[in-house]
Structure 1
Amino acid sequence: MKWECQELGSILLLLLAVCVCLSVGVQGQVTDPTEVSALREIRRNLVDPMKNLSNWDRGDPCSSNWTGIGCYNKTLNDGYLHIQDLELLNMNLSGTLSPELGSLSYLKILDFMWNSISGSIPKEIGNIKTLVLLLLNGNQLTGPLPEELGYLPNLDRIQIDQNKISGELPKSFANLNKTKHFHMNNNSISGQIPHELSRLPKLVHFLLDNNNLSGHLPPEFSQLPNLLIIQLDNNHFDGTAIPASYSNMSKLLKMSLRNCGLQGPIPDLSKIPQLSYIDLSSNQLSGSIPPNKLSDNMTTIILSNNNLSGNIPVNFSRLPYIERLSLANNRLNGSVPATIWENRTLTGGHRLIMDFENNMLSSISGSTTTPPNVSLQLEGNPLCSRANLGRFCGSNQDEVESESPRNNPVGCPSQACPPSYEYPPVYPVSCVCAAPLLVEYRLKSPGFLRFNPYRNGFEEYLSSGLRLYQYQLDVNSIIWQEGPRLKMSLKLFPENGSYVFNTSEVWRIWRMFTGWQVPDNDTFGPYELLNFILLDPYKTDIVIPPSKSGLSTGALVGIILGTLAFAVALSAVVSLLIYRIYLRKPHGVPNSRRVSRNPIKIDGVRGFTYEEMAVATNNFSDSQQVGQGGYGKVYKGILADGTVVAIKRAQEGSLQGDKEFFTEIELLSRLHHRNLVSLVGLCDEEGEQMLVYEFMANGTLREHISAKCKQPLSFASRLRLALGSAKGILYLHTEADPPIFHRDIKATNILLDSKYMAKVADFGLSRLAPVPDIQGLTPTHVSTVVKGTPGYLDPEYFLTHKLTDKSDVYSLGVVFLELLTGMHPIQHGKNIVREVNVAYRAGIIFSVIDERMGSYPSGCVEKFVDLALRCCQDETDARPTMMEVVRELENISSLVPDFDTSTSIPSGSITSPSYSSNIRNPFISSDVSGSDLISGVVPDISPR
């Protein structure tokens, strides 16, 4: 025995050393000190009038004024946490960008969009080799683009548009082999476009319109294998021609070279199979329009304000989707081919606008009758002298397309929703109030000039990209801006049946936009987020998530694997110790289930033999099994004296040691209350452990508030069950000696006896409350590994590992909400506490009350809801004590006319089910994480 103790001590010391090493490893996961210092310097250089970044001083990685969001996330590498994302969108910041940005050597997203930051772009950003998104658009930045930016090997997107950047495009940008998006429009970039950029293998969008570029268009750009959009409007390529090689851009969708001072002929673009948009207007192009047929995808051809001559090609007649054909202010002659509009039917809001004004056209070859939605403008041509063409020769102006906010859906009362809530216009169920997310969004280079025909396609594209239903998206208004660019005001509504988005959904949608996770579309082109606005229902509830564990996926996997390895090693050591001790014990007695030994004797707890248990359960027949959990199976048994009991038999592998088994039995033996399930006895023979409880004939509370229950409980019955449960827990907290924290209160652990009295069960996870120390001071909590059931778990306990009596209060509050609504704690991603909170604050609480209760006193229900929500406060101190809960329930009960304090079947409730009823399990839930009364194997929930 002495050797066994010494060996056990050595093993414990070894395990302690391992734990210390693990602890040191965890404590070493701090943010890289160099990056912490850099972050302080970055903030110091920024002017933050709204104090949006004040949380950085506390190490909080996120802050918000809800007109913009600032956040940095972290990833684990080389033993330190490194800043991975730095997002400061629309934060009212000014000042300058600090060179210390270059010290954030693990950064992937650098986002300062839509602020008022001035100064130059630090060349040190070129040191961030991990950078994927460089987003600086919408500021007041000046100076040239640093050459160093051309050495960012992982850069996918560079957005510096809408600044005051000057100087030339660095030739080093030809090294950006992974860059797909060059968005540099609306600056003062000058000089020649480097032909070296034609080596960029991934380039998709090349947007440099509204700059001061000069020289010539590089012919080598025809070699760009993936270029979809080239947009260079309003630059100064004076006297140069469009390279003929551009007809070989095999994937091009859009070519926009408006007002660039270009001369020479239009190249033959008929070889580009998917081309849909051409704007070469306001140049000095000459010669005739190439006669070859363009792509069938063509929607827009704008060649106005040039020096083009010759005839209008008849091949324009064979373009099935053409919507805009503008050839005005040229020197075209001959006739207008009526085949362009003949036999054309336009539906779905499509229009065909043909502007041939101010040319030398003399006639129309064919019918002069145009179909509906076709507009022909011929003013300033000789043919207008013919009287019968006057309708085409007046002054025409394009309509200004816009979308006004929609009215309430038909039949919905106006102003019936609370502030910040409204009726979604196309919900499957009308007149449902919901709080939208407001998104300002812009298409930077769409492939059309009128939105209405594409509206449905856009809604389908964006809702699908955001993983929402199409009815959740409303394009509230649109406005065309210079470019042309299309600015939109969007409203995103929660899924039908919800009033608001939950926190995770808000952040998921935000990340979809800011990370460009919605794929670009050929028709709608590149997009950008301008603003993301949260209304009042979200300002108080949405919490900006820190980087949770602060770990990358790889690091998290490593930690999990390390933990598993440690657990395996620990199990092996313990198993070795047990095996060695076992070898030193005498083995004269066979390890048989049927061989008895001296039973544990505890006052008030009856001891049973294995034979008695076998007889009571018909030799543990499957027909007698009424439930199963992580600890073992539960059988209905009938003792020799006729007493009906529930026998919980531990399965092999769940057996406890003598000391632990004795401790828990002793604990249960001291609990005597009408609202706690009573322990009748136990069986403890070699290789066998069984607990015998009073049989609860009417199953679990969860079964009786389930939608499957044929005769639902009345409000008075539910209130009585709530009061009984609360009294049982109050006994544990105040009268048990010592007091006990239950730790796993839930609707499946509240059982109903034959008279429908609620009794709290399952003390397998219970912990003794703290006792006074030598100075007479009682700690307020027990520090313990987090265990419990998702949906019922106290968030404070989850985060701090500090178990208190208020943890039970929180869980019971969730049970109260189940009683009131019939909902599950977590269902389809919705949390019952949040859903009821939202409805309560919106003044629509009765919309979530269980309709199956029948009539109920509304004032009493409101008081019950208020109590339940106070129990479910995140802050421990804000919750009532269990004594206060019981008193409040008693006060509410006194106001209910039909409240029955007896133990008979509740009025308006259900008849007693027999054993063979649809309630399969009258004593224990089949949920493994649920109703095991002793040593239940419950999945641990670790903070994430």
Structure 2
Amino acid sequence: MKRMKKMISLGLSFLLVLAQIMLISAATNAQEAAAVYGLGDQWSNTPSNWNSGDPCDDNWVGIHCDNNSHVTSITLSSLGLEGTLTGDIQSLTELGTLDLSYNKGLTGQIPAFIGSLSKLENLILVGCSFSGEIPAEIGSLKQLIFLSLNSNKFSGRIPSTIGNLAKLYWLDLADNLLTDEIPVSDGKNPGLDMLIDTKHFHLGMNQLSGAIPEQLFSSNMKLIHLLLDNNNLTGEIPSTLGLVQSLEVLRLDRNHLSGSVPSNINNLTKVAEMHLSNNDLTGPLPNLTGMISLTYLDMSNNTFDESATPAWFSTLPSLTTLVLEYLRVSGEIPMALFSSSPLQTVRLRNNKFNGTLNIGTAFSSQLELVDVQYNNIELYTEGGGYNNQLILVGNPYCEHEASSPHCLESQQPITPYSTEPQDNCVPVSCPTDQSMSPHCICAYPYSGTFSLRAPSFSYLGNSTYFTRLENDIMNSFRKHQLPVDSVSLNNINTDVDEYLSMHLQVFPSGKLRFEQSDISNIGFILSNQTFKTSKDFGPYFFIGAPYTAFLETSTGGKSSNSKTVIIGVVAGAVVLALILIILLVFLVRHKKKTKNAVEKSQPFESWVVTKRSGDAPQLKGARSFTYEEIRKCTNNFAESNEIGTGGYGKVYKGTLANGQLVAIKRAQQGSMQGGLEFKTEIEMLSRVHHKNLVSLIGFCFDKGEQMLIYEYITNGSLKESLTGKSGVQLDWKRRLRVALGAAKGLAYLHDLADPPIIHRDIKSSNILLDNHLNAKVSDFGLSKPMTDTDKGHVTTQVKGTMGYLDPEYYMSQQLTEKSDVYSFGVLLLELLTARKPIELGRYVVREVRVMMDKGKDLYGLDQLLDPILISSSLGGFCEFIDLALSCVEEEGINRPKMSQVVTELEKIMVLAGMNPIIEAGSTSSSYEATTSKSGGSYHPYGNEAFDYSGGAPSAKVEAK
């Protein structure tokens, strides 16, 4: 029997080898077919129809051929490819386009033999994980038009040989680790100054250093976008920049540029967006009178000379956004500034403006924000009808008008645009793994982050811009006949790099899911800039998330009359063998899918059933309650015992038969929504026990009810304490104790739980405070066990809460323990500021990084701190900030482990005059049983989590 199995196995292997030989010779050039097969062998997660057949003849996904069966294009975006770029690709001598964008699993270096692809016009590797130096051999690709290598991990210098690419239109090397100076020609070596026909230099978010070369610019350049932001560039802005009359977008912000702004910058009459902020520029404010196309101007955080209000304030006819913060401009703000018809935002805080602020009556109808905090304004003339945001905090005006709404620190935030249902359709309830389209149809959308590098507008609540952007994207898909029903834009905010970031979803037309070829084509439209934005939106980039909900792709192909009878017999045998194999695989997968479906629909089916509990499972450490027991302990769910409510259901206070106080979270009756989260939380809390984790007393799964019974936590959540809702006031030392307690709870989950657990939703509303103000981490509904510790991550749909969400997890869908560390870092900053992570469109991580000055007391962050802390002795403050910022590093590898965070917090407590050993067991008796004004305690036994794979709220919503 064993011998027969071995012979069958050998026979099948032989037939498969024959099949490959036969199919390679069928249509595609033999050498090129072998090369594509080689790539397929090297990569994981290749398209399903790459397993057999002929690349050209059988229309392999992502493979495009000419009439002579030469491979001319490979486009494989967002398919989850893993592997490296191997030597096989050099055999594709007719290749014109290579697009492998949005595959985070592609790593390693770009091999030098890339230079042998002499016909390559588009090299697009956006959002992968390639590293090492960019090979100089790229300069041999003389036909290259698009070179997009942004959002990888490339290091070293920019190859000077790129200057040889005379046909280059688009150069994007942004968001990498590139260093050294910008190369220019020197008689022996080429440089970027030779790219006179290139229209896009996108080199921001790197580590480029040295001065911007004078030689880089000339009057015959056709450059329209120059993006050098977020680097380490020094020296003066070269005067030759004023020669580039075609320029439309200029970003030099977040460098170390010094000296005066050259006067001839006023000659750049086509520039619409100009960012010079966060440098060391000196001299007078530049005269911008001639820049009549200027829409967005930001020159904040420089050291310009003290100056009076410049005359050009009132002469820029296209201005939508004026940002001049932390400068030394004085005088009255002219009323004529506000009459510019497109004006939307004026941010002039921390200057020396004085006198009277008069917006007048002829202000722009789009004007939404006037922020003049911390100036010397004494009067504000009302009566003009302006009713939008005006912030006068920190001006003499507020000393005698403290009750004015304009003098409040916290004002009504602007609600960013969010796609609404269209066509008067009725919103539906979609399965948790699907999302609802603007046409109210449930489906699996393709999604990713769409970022505008220099938009001309700043008011995020203006639907005009975003509706037009959605329409433009949709029209581009229609033009290319892609099966797209609709698109939506949500979660719009300004990110840490001052880019306008939003979550884009693309919904399939006439079907539930996209096919692999659809995703390849949609990704290519966005990766190679086939979709063009208007000038209002400026340059963009897109980082697609892997799409995992594919339809099965057919592997069929065309027949060939030239095939011999022998090959036909072999092919028939192979087909028969493959059918048997596929049938076996299908049966195995079907069984697995059936099991998964049962587990989803009946999440407790796999638990042990006992006679006592009926349908309820029995777990160690968690008691199963009957519905009748819970009904009695809550006095029939009396309204007087209700202490919270939310999308999940209601929370009740109860007293068990033994006198123990409990909090009972009850799901909405008759709804199984959240069943998996319900089961997850029970399983997690039943096997983890730590004083800094909330204790699960038991659960009820009886008579169609889903209820979780927790220990009763007296003082509610950290969020309620920081916002003043609970009545608990936390000084510096108490906040350090809370931070340490929460860190210890997380460290236990990461290091001592078996298997380790990633919480996935750390935030202030999920940190509860007991009657001694000990911190307890709560809500495990979104938690994930690290069952494969060797892999180091869990690939899963993105879930969490905006503001706390790890950007690396959001982009890659790879969840690691460092994702919790990022969320904890945001929590530390929230402890300092008592503000929401995202407030008024501002992200606390970015605000701290921009404002921080280590040469000043409290790192210059006193304006961001919770006023309660200002009067405290803040021992260890600087070390606390350093720890928080290390936790929110962009890459998880650069963040500490939670055990290291615990150690650092203990050191900080010592600096604050505390003994971490004693404090770990300390009490605060004066804060026992704090209640709200209404008499009910605050108990957030839930969360505000959002599922970012679909953009809709998940089943679990915080009970407030």
Find the structure with the greater CA-based Rg. Answer: 1
So what's the TM-score if we normalise by structure 1? 0.48
- Greater RCO (Cα-Cα under 8 Å, separation 6 or more): 2
